[in-house]
Amino acid sequence: MDRIEELTNQIVEKFERKGIKVNKSEIRKRFNLLINEFKVPESEAIRTMTNFLLREYGLSREEVFERESPLIKIGEIEKEGMWITLKAKVAQLWDSNSPNVSQVGLIGDETGMIKFVIWAKSGKREVEEGKSYLFKNVITDSFQGRLQVNINRMSDIEEIDEDIPLPPREIEIVGALIAIQQNSGLIKRCKECGRVLTKDLCAIHGKTDGYDDLRIKGVIDDGENVYEVILNEDNIRSLTGIDVEKAKEIAQEKLDRNAVLNELKSRLFGRYFEIKGIRGGRYLLVKDVSFYKPSPNEFTLEGFA
């Protein structure tokens, strides 16, 4: 069966399931025109066809597509383009630099973690770190080779009174902090949304005052693997004794907010750390971090010398 026939059958079935009879040969003709002659990408052709049929039969999108996507676990997500419902906890919110994105971060259940994006256009509520939600009718997508879920207009987010456990795949690593990335040190976050401000500007809320926070975005390297980590104020305080208040003092004293980063760098860069955390998306989520203290028998190099 050729591709045109396949697409035609799919769309006919979709409408017939709703009890709507559509003209199959007309659809085939249009698909042929769009795809074979006009070389329109398939996904666009499908969208165009759907819109055409909705108009033609005077239907609203909701009538045809109101759907309850299957409730699955994150570990069962296999490919992009799956409409699904997830029960998951927001493990981490990231900074978003795009005004098109309302929120971005990681959600997890006991089977895995996945990046999520709430598009600004979706008009959905904001979620909070550490809380669990039912993410209804979300669609899987792939971005830069990684799977993610998108929350769009068709989706729903409901807070649930359940604490969804995160995957037990905790790892322990020992490695050196070999890079500290931009937007580390004493930073300012937007009061509205928590995004990191650049030059007092929030990507969404424009010029704002913001509040101070302390963090390090860095790279831990054990000679075989690299792990991107984010150390928050608690982590930094436990390692260096410097908290936001202390950091502000340093900045004031030196009349330079960058002095904080220099101080942290001189105390942390190149050192070995023992980190317990969960692998999720791009970052290793740090649960526990300390300076690594090798035990004396590590210096014996068993079976050698």
Partner 1 sequence: MIRKREVARRVFAYELIRSIHQIGDEGERSPKYVLTPTGERVNRIFSVAALLDKEEIRPDSNIWRLRLSDPTGVYYAYVGRFQPEALETVIEIEAPELVAIVGKVRVFEGMKKLVSVRPENIVPVEIEVRDYWVIETAKRTLERIKAMENEEDEDAKLAMKIYSPNLEEYKNMVKQAVSAIREEIKVFEEEKSEEEIEEFEFEFEEEEWDLSDLLEE
Token pair, residue 3, equals 């591709």
Interface with partner 1 includes 253 (CB under 8 A)? Answer: no
Interface with partner 1 includes 300 (CB under 8 A)? Answer: yes
Q: Are strands 201-202 and 206-207 parallel, antiparallel or unpaired?
A: antiparallel
Interface with partner 1 includes 294 (CB under 8 A)? Answer: yes
Token pair, residue 207, equals 């010029």
Shortest Å distance, C-beta 222 to partner 1: 8
Which residue, among 102, 110, 106, 94, has the nearest Cα to 147 in the 3D structure? 106
Interface with partner 1 includes 65 (CB under 8 A)? Answer: no
Interface with partner 1 includes 182 (CB under 8 A)? Answer: no
Token pair, residue 267, equals 């105390």
Q: Helix 244-254 vs helix 258-268: angle between axes, to the nearest 10 degrees? A: 120
Interface with partner 1 includes 83 (CB under 8 A)? Answer: no
Which of 144, 209, 241, 255 lies at the binding interface for partner 1 (CB under 8 A)? 144
Interface with partner 1 includes 269 (CB under 8 A)? Answer: yes
Which of 19, 58, 81, 145 lies at the binding interface for partner 1 (CB under 8 A)? 145
Interface with partner 1 includes 212 (CB under 8 A)? Answer: no
Residue 53 and residue 63 in contact, taking contact as beta carbons nearer than 8 Å: no
Which of 224, 241, 253, 255 lies at the binding interface for partner 1 (CB under 8 A)? 224
Q: Are strands 146-151 and 112-119 parallel, antiparallel or unpaired?
A: parallel
Residue 168 and residue 110 in contact, taking contact as beta carbons nearer than 8 Å: yes
Interface with partner 1 includes 259 (CB under 8 A)? Answer: no
Which of 40, 54, 179, 259 lies at the binding interface for partner 1 (CB under 8 A)? 179
The count of chain residues that interact with partner 1, using the rule CB under 8 A, is 26
Which of 19, 58, 223, 241 lies at the binding interface for partner 1 (CB under 8 A)? 223
Tokens 């009538």 — which residue? 63
Nearer to partner 1, 153 or 282 (CB): 282
Interface with partner 1 includes 226 (CB under 8 A)? Answer: yes
Nearer to partner 1, 156 or 221 (CB): 221
How far apart CA 272 and CA 293 sit, in angstroms, is: 8
Residue 282 and residue 218 in contact, taking contact as beta carbons nearer than 8 Å: no
Nearer to partner 1, 156 or 274 (CB): 274
Terminal-to-terminal C-alpha distance of the chain: 69
Residue 77 and residue 85 in contact, taking contact as beta carbons nearer than 8 Å: no
Interface with partner 1 includes 225 (CB under 8 A)? Answer: yes
Interface with partner 1 includes 271 (CB under 8 A)? Answer: yes
Interface with partner 1 includes 70 (CB under 8 A)? Answer: no
45: Cβ contacts below 8 Å, ≥ 6 apart:
7, 31, 34, 35
29: Cβ contacts below 8 Å, ≥ 6 apart:
none
Which of 37, 241, 255, 304 lies at the binding interface for partner 1 (CB under 8 A)? 304
Residue 297 and residue 244 in contact, taking contact as beta carbons nearer than 8 Å: no
Nearer to partner 1, 65 or 269 (CB): 269
Task: Catalog residues that contact partner 1 under the rule CB under 8 A.
Answer: 144-145, 176, 178-179, 219, 221, 223-226, 265-266, 269-272, 292, 294, 296, 298-301, 304-305
